[in-house]
Amino acid sequence: MKLKAKLTVGIGFLFIVILVFGILGITSIYKLRNDTDKVLTNNYETLVYNNNMLKSLDELPNNKIAYQDFEKNLLLQEKNITEFGEDDATKWLRKNFEKLKLQPNDSSNYREIRQAIQRINNINQNAILLKKDTAQSTANNAIFWLTVVFTILTIIALTLTVNFPDIIATPIKALAEGITAIANKNYSNRIHLKQNDEFGDLANAFNIMAEKLDEYEHTNLAKIKFEKSRIETIINQMKDGIIGLDEQKNILFINAVAEKMLGLKEQDIIGKYVADIALTNDLMRRLLQDDHRKELKIYADNKESYFNKEVLSVSNDDQVIGNVIVLRNITPFHELNEAKTNFIATVSHELKTPIASIKMSLDLLENKQIGSLNNDQKQLIDSIKDDSNRLLKITGELLNLSQVETGNIQLSLQPCSLINIVDYATNAVKMSAEQKKITIKQEVATSNVLVKADKDKTAWVLINLLANAIKYSDEQSNITIRIEHEVDNLKISVIDKGVGIAPKYLNKIFDRYFKAPSSISTGTGLGLAISKEFIEAQGGTIGVKSIFGEGSCFYFLLPA
Ligand code: ADP
């Protein structure tokens, strides 16, 4: 039965209860009123007439009005015959009254009349008693039927009251439980309502929805599982070590390479807090250190290996939900780099001797004792000299670079006067400055000019900075070398009014082989990189400030 029909039946039943009770009550009361009416009107009136007649009889025969009263009440009684036997008794009364009118002094008439009245009274009193019983039985009947109907209706109403809320509450509860299960991702949950009403329809619709969700979840799960095993395969095939952490820093996964490097087994560490593993594993401890030195030297594959550490954040909706530590094996690059450095070192070393002998031969050629040269020959000799000088500079830089790359910078740190170094460097670049008519000025803004440094390396750096300043300055411009005190250091700045450096290249010019586009092409791009290594090896710092098109200021600081 549909819910609508059930509600209609329920409310209809209540309506019927009210109707039945109403009708029953009203008819019972109506019947009772009828019964009592009869008692009151007909029988009571008879008793009144009889009473009046008895009063009139007492005043007879002398009172004429008493005759008239008697006659009037007898007539009324004759019109008010309602009971069985009352008619005969009344007729008998009339007969005796007529006799009394003829023989007023015959006492037997009075007796007969009194007996007749008594008889009518008796008949009516009996009738009253009978009607009282009838009224009582009508009342009893009404009470009985009202009680029966009341009991039946109460039982039905009680059953309805007990069951009706359940008719609505039970399916709603089942639906609410089903919805909660779906909210908790329990898509296999179904609602079992075997009813043919709107709730049944709702349960069916719900079950269809849950089935679809279940299907969707399973296909999604299968997809996710497939993706997971695919990614696991990729991660395990990679040559790099990979460790995955969740947001609580527990280990989620680790691939074979990382397992080997760390000397740990996946099943022993999965799900464990990474900091706990780091307590007993040196390499893990180093991986967790938040240092910016990304390169790690690790003993792996029975040799010293180099790894580049990279920590990637895994985010979901801008929220970090974990990290992946990637250890890239850069040992082959290191080996190649080493081979390159050795090659460069060997080649530049081997080139130095022939270049030196070329320079010596050129000097001899210029010697007048050997023979005089014509102008063309002189020009050729000058050009060969320039080229061999440049070659010597390049081989020198390459040698320095190989020293830097192999970490073999030989330093002899000792107190030395900066003025001497500045003089030496200025002297070394004097010729090229003069060629461009550039003036090199010195500004010494401190009395203490002693630094703890390697004289040769510092001079090399300063010469390099000056050479660059000359190279990138216009003819007839000025270059200033400034010495000043800064906290515990001495700062040497080389300031030129040359081409300057575009801001986007400023953080790159100390990189090896970097040359700003459009800069003069003769150069290796190594000078500043080597300068940086030399200054930092001495515990100093090097930097640059520049305005593109207006000039540059290269400076370095060394401990005073
Ligand atoms: P290079 O041998 O090419 O001069 P460096 O390492 O000495 O190599 O310089 C790297 C780059 O820095 C140069 O190519 C040039 O673009 C820029 N640079 C260096 N010094 C100056 C300067 N004084 N003015 C403008 N640019 C400069």
Look at residue 40 and tell me whether its pLDDT is greater than 80: no
Is 330 a pocket residue for ligand 1 (Cβ < 6 Å)? no
Task: Give the pLDDT score at 41.
Answer: 79
What's the pLDDT tens digit per position in 346-370? Answer: 888 889 889 989 999 998 888 888 8
pLDDT value at position 475? 94
Confidence band for 92, pLDDT divided at 50, 70 and 90: very high
Place of tokens 């095939």: 237
Same domain, 383 and 427: no
**184 is a domain residue:** no
pLDDT at residue 292 in the model: 57
End position of a domain, from candidates 134, 154, 169: 169
CB of 524 closer than 6 A to ligand 1? yes
Does the C-beta of 551 come closer than 6 Å to ligand 1?
A: no
Answer whether residue 246 is part of any domain.
yes
258 and 387, same structural domain?
no
For residue 302, count other CB atoms closer than 10 A to its CB: 6
Structure tokens at 391: 């070659």
Banded pLDDT at 436 (limits 50, 70, 90): very high
User: How many angstroms separate the CA atoms of 475 and 469, rounded?
Assistant: 11
Give me the mean pLDDT over the 438-459 stretch. Answer: 90
Q: Measured between alpha carbons, how far is 136 from 535 in angstroms, rounded to an integer?
A: 131
Q: Which atom of ligand 1 sits closest to the CA of residue 515? A: 14
Instruction: Please tell me the distance between residue 468's alpha carbon and the centre of ligand 1 in angstroms.
Output: 6
Distance from residue 391's CA to the centre of ligand 1 (Å): 18
What spacing in Å lies between the alpha carbon of 536 and ligand 1's midpoint? 19
- Mutation probe of ligand 1 site: the residue of 398, 468, 514, 532 with most atoms within 8 A of C-beta: 468
Cβ of residue 49 lying under 6 Å from some atom of ligand 1: no
- Residue 93 pLDDT > 70, yes or no? yes
Q: How far is the CA of 433 from the centre of ligand 1 (A)?
A: 16
CA–CA separation, 394 and 124 (whole Å): 157
Distance 501 CA to ligand 1 centre (A): 9
CATH number where 285 lies: 3.30.450.20
Pairing relation of β-strands 489-496 and 439-444?
Answer: unpaired
What is the distance in A from the centroid of ligand 1 to the CA of 469?
8
Strongest mean pLDDT among 158-162, 216-220, 407-411, 530-534: 530-534
Which residue's alpha carbon is nearest to atom 23 within ligand 1?
A: 469
**Span from the CA of 404 to the centroid of ligand 1 (angstroms):** 19
Task: Evaluate whether residue 296 is within a structural domain.
Answer: yes
Which of the residue ranges 122-131, 291-300, 384-393 would you say has the lowest mean pLDDT?
291-300
Q: Are residues 376 and 516 in the same domain?
A: no
- Mean pLDDT confidence for 535-545: 94
Q: In angstroms, what CA-CA distances link 283 with 297, 309, 326, 448, 519?
A: 10, 12, 14, 47, 45
Q: Is a pLDDT exceeding 90 seen at residue 196?
A: no
User: Does position 119 have pLDDT exceeding 90, yes or no?
Assistant: yes
Task: Give the range among 57-66, 193-202, 240-249, 297-306 with minimum mean pLDDT.
Answer: 297-306
Q: Is the CB of 477 under 6 A from ligand 1?
A: no
- Any ligand 1 atom below 6 A from CB of 523: yes
pLDDT of residue 421 exceeding 80, the answer is yes
466 CA from centroid of ligand 1 (Å): 11
Mean pLDDT of 132-142: 83
Q: Is 202 in the pocket of ligand 1 (CB under 6 A)?
A: no
Q: Kindly state whether residues 14 and 73 are assigned to the same domain.
A: yes
- 350 found inside a domain: yes
Of 117, 151, 169, the residue that ends a domain is 169
Indicate whether residue 516 lines ligand 1 (CB < 6 A).
yes
Domain-embedded: residue 347: yes
145 in the same domain as 253? no
Helix (H) or strand (E) segment spanning residue 64: helix 64-79
Whether this prediction's pTM lies above 0.85 is answered by no
- Structurally, the chain folds into a number of domains equal to 4
- For residue 104, the model assigns a pLDDT of 84
* Pocket lining: 498 vs ligand 1, CB cutoff 6 Å: yes
Q: What is the DSSP letter of 83?
A: S
Q: Among the three residues 279, 305, 329, which one is the final residue of a domain in this structure?
A: 329
Is the confidence at residue 448, as pLDDT, over 80?
Answer: no
Q: Are residues 499 and 433 in the same domain?
A: yes
**Per-residue pLDDT, 557:** 95
Statement to judge: residues 368 and 475 lie in one domain: no
Percentage of the chain lying above the pLDDT 70 cut: 98
Q: How confident is the model at residue 127 (pLDDT cuts 50, 70, 90)?
A: confident
Q: Is 496 in the pocket of ligand 1 (CB under 6 A)?
A: yes
505 pLDDT more than 90: yes
- CA dist 28 to 23, 35, 147, 148, Å? 8, 11, 13, 14
User: What is the chain's mean pLDDT, rounded?
Assistant: 88
Asked whether the predicted pLDDT for residue 519 surpasses 70, the reply is no
Q: Do 10 and 154 share a domain, yes or no?
A: yes
> Is 134 near ligand 1, meaning CB less than 6 Å away?
no
CA distance 280 to 278: 5
Give mean pLDDT, residues 277-303.
Answer: 78
Do 349 and 265 reside in the same domain of the chain? no
Would residue 219 count as lying in a domain? no
Same domain, 299 and 392: no
Identify the pLDDT of residue 157.
Answer: 82
Nearest atom, ligand 1, residue 520 CA = 14
| 157 CB neighbour count, 10 Å cutoff | 16
Ligand 1 contacts CB of residue 528 (under 6 A): yes
The reported pLDDT for the residue numbered 254 is 92
State the residue range of the domain holding 399.
342-406
The whole-number average pLDDT for the span 225-250 is 89
CB atoms within 10 A of CB 477: 16
Nearest CA to ligand 1 atom 16: 516
What is the spatial distance between Cα 388 and Cα 360, in angstroms, rounded to a whole number?
Answer: 11
Which residue of 519, 535, 542 sits with most ligand 1 atoms within 8 Å of its CB, as the best mutation to test the pocket?
A: 519
pLDDT at 437: 96
In a domain, 466, yes or no: yes
Instruction: Judge if 422 and 402 occupy the same domain.
Output: no
298 and 441, same domain (yes or no) = no
Q: Are 408 and 375 in contact (CB under 8 A)?
A: no
pLDDT at 294: 65
pLDDT of residue 291: 64
With bands split at pLDDT 50, 70 and 90, how would you rate the model's confidence at 430? very high
CATH (domain of 444)? 3.30.565.10
Ranges 144-148, 153-157, 316-320, 494-498, most confident: 494-498
* Residue 38 pLDDT exceeds 70: no
Q: Rounded to whole angstroms, how far apart are CA atoms 280 and 374?
A: 80
Atom of ligand 1 minimally distant from the CA of 523: 2
Ligand 1 pocket, mutate which of 461, 496, 526, 528 (most atoms under 8 A from CB): 528
In a domain, 233, yes or no: no
